Structure 1
Amino acid sequence: MAEVKAKVPRKKASKRQKKDWFAGYVLIAPVTIGLLVFYIWPFIQNFWFSFNDVNKFNMSTFVGLANYKEMLGDKEVWRTFGNTLKYVVITVPLGLFLSILLAALLNAKIKGKSIYRTLYFLPSVTMSAAVAMVWKWMYNEQMGILNSALKAVGGKGHNWMTDPHTALFGIMVVGLWMTVGYNMIILLAGMQGISKSYYEAAAIDGAGAVTQFFKITIPMLTPTVFFVMITSIISGFQVFDTVYMMVGKANPAYESTQTVVMLFYRQAFDYGHKGYAAAISILIFLAIMLVTVIQMIGQKKWVNYD
């Protein structure tokens, strides 16, 4: 016969435990409320709006999947999505390479490391609008410092931000300039967390600096690299402020630089098509989620935390 297990009576929580629980709930309450009010509820509301025709006065009419059907057949949506994808595909690998390179250089024994770290990190804490305006002036056709430098050495100036073939690449340079320093700090922290005993053992075996970098630093830094890659892809899909400040509607390069988040903004606030804009935002969310899931699967495959 099966043994009957006796039920163990649950112990009542003591006053001290209840006080600890209450203190814990009080401490997490601000963050929890903030997430609910500013993230979770707006997302639910936005998801509902994507199934409605919402006018400028927030009066909604349920239209089902009409917004999604229109979006799937809208060439402008896929053109802007293509621009965004091009931005991500180019800036994320290049930015990751530059960040790792700078982190490795600043992790070495050189003079003035703290000064270099500060200089590289400053762009990431500077207001995006200010950065965009400065770079817009640098790209200026008439008096921009870039064209002035080219003319000084006998070259010809170029219409950097009005040429559809170069405008998006100009924005990529600005994006890299703003994010490389931040990612460098994260990667540098990851490098400094690697035990020096690995390098000492490799040096005893005769491994040089390059071999140590590829055989020790990169494998041990993989979790940090995955984190930086995921956050960079997410921010790349959400690029908006630099494009908005540097390229206007009257710019000939407007179509070649417009991102999907820019299209969302235009539809929601310029044209008042909030339901359609909500459907576009859901597309952005699904794209980011898909890429993140793929990244997480790859992380579990290549990284062993045990």
Structure 2
Amino acid sequence: MVPTPIRYPVIVGPTAGGKTALGVELAKRLRSPDDEPGQVVTADAYQIYTDLNIGTAKPTLDEREGIEHHLIDIAGLKDRFTVHDWLHRADPLVAQLRTDGITPVVVGGTNLYIKAFLDGLFQAPEPSDEIKAQVEQMPQPERRAMLAKVDAEANARIDGADHRRTRRALEVYLQTGTPITELQKQWDADKPTRPEAVLVGLDWPIETINTRINQRVKNMIEQGLVEEARAVFDADGFGPQSREAIGYKQLIAHFEGRCSLDEAIERIKIDTRRFAKNQRTWLKRLRIRPGSLWIEAEGRDATDIANQVADHL
């Protein structure tokens, strides 16, 4: 038994990189003085939704191995849920666990949630109604062309099909005259607000992660992802936000007759690999956090890595 540490882990890494299994193994090791295991605090923007299970890689009861998991299945499919909503639940939860002598094990999935948890929310100025209207009226290609001129880094980082984030980046620039990338760098440079939280990053070669992603998608299809998504679709269950989850968004296009099933499955693989690429950008920003631990995960199992992390804590 490893005694309850003053510090606690916050796990990040690429999708399909073994974060869930590592979280469970760590929770089993980081026990309280009363021999209570740690508890997982999930930081994932889509595992919050009920009924989105297979496609979000939500851990099954068997995979949880009796470890309590928090902040999953907390929102209905039509609910809008933001990083603010997650943080307002995570903050008191982590504080209460620590008060009770239980080690929280924060497991990432959405790096914005992790960044906000570690360093606070990024507070960009609210644009005026006039600027919002100006950007809203612009066609997306025009928005992207403008963003490429005023903030090349944001243009490269934000997916071309992501209208919301593209609008936001332009609104911030037009309101402040400063690219959102520069404002975010200032955010990155701020002193960490949770020195007791130890960032644990899993590093993987890109080729290996891409192979793991393709295998994960294959496994999800075999486990019934198409049937799960179809049931929600037929019940008109998806909301504007939940329908954007990778794995479901592509299958919705198939259900609506816009592509074949094979094309939808291939699109899931492509979009997941693209998501992993975006994650790498986030991980570079997180890597500068003082005291963080980064681990080459290829060829190692969750038990081995958990032992290393527990020793570090």
Q: TM-score range by the shorter chain?
A: under 0.3
Name the structure with the higher helix share.
1
Q: TM-score, normalised by structure 2?
A: 0.24
Larger radius of gyration: 1
**TM-score of the pair, normalised by structure 1:** 0.24
Task: Give 1 or 2: higher strand fraction.
Answer: 2
